[in-house]
Amino acid sequence: MQIFNSWPDENLLVLQDNVKVALIKHLIKPFLSLEEAKAYWLENKPLVIFLEKQDTSESIARLDPLLQRKITMVLTYPEYTEEIAMGYTIKLAIYDDVGDGIYCLQNSLL
């Protein structure tokens, strides 16, 4: 599991290059530029979580209870689910009235 509460650094993402590019493009999509997206992330601290094959309900249960609830929400009640690269889907959940959110990236072929 990879968890980012700031703009995801491409060098730290353990993903194939095409998936990294697709993820970054997806995260920029609601903004006019990369700089605007990064500024929003710096101020609002949305989460990006990459759930990997070895991540199970047991490993998620070992996380902080608030983070567990956020992950459960994005997996159960996403605002949307979209395939961003071959075999990879991303989900978004907004979990409060201020617009705080969590993105969850998963390998859909697992």
* DSSP string computed for the chain: -EEESSSPPTTT--S-HHHHHHHHHHHHTTSSSHHHHHHHHHHH--EEEEE-TT--HHHHHTS-HHHHHHHHHHHHS-SEEEEEETTEEEEEEE-STT--EEEEEEETT-
pLDDT in tens, 35-90: 999 999 998 889 999 998 888 888 899 999 999 999 999 999 999 999 999 999 99
12's enclosing H/E stretch is none
pLDDT digits (tens, 9 = 90+) for 15-29: 999 999 999 999 999
pTM: 0.89
110 pLDDT exceeds 60?
A: no
Task: Please calculate the CA angle 85-35-23 and round it to the nearest 5 degrees.
Answer: 10
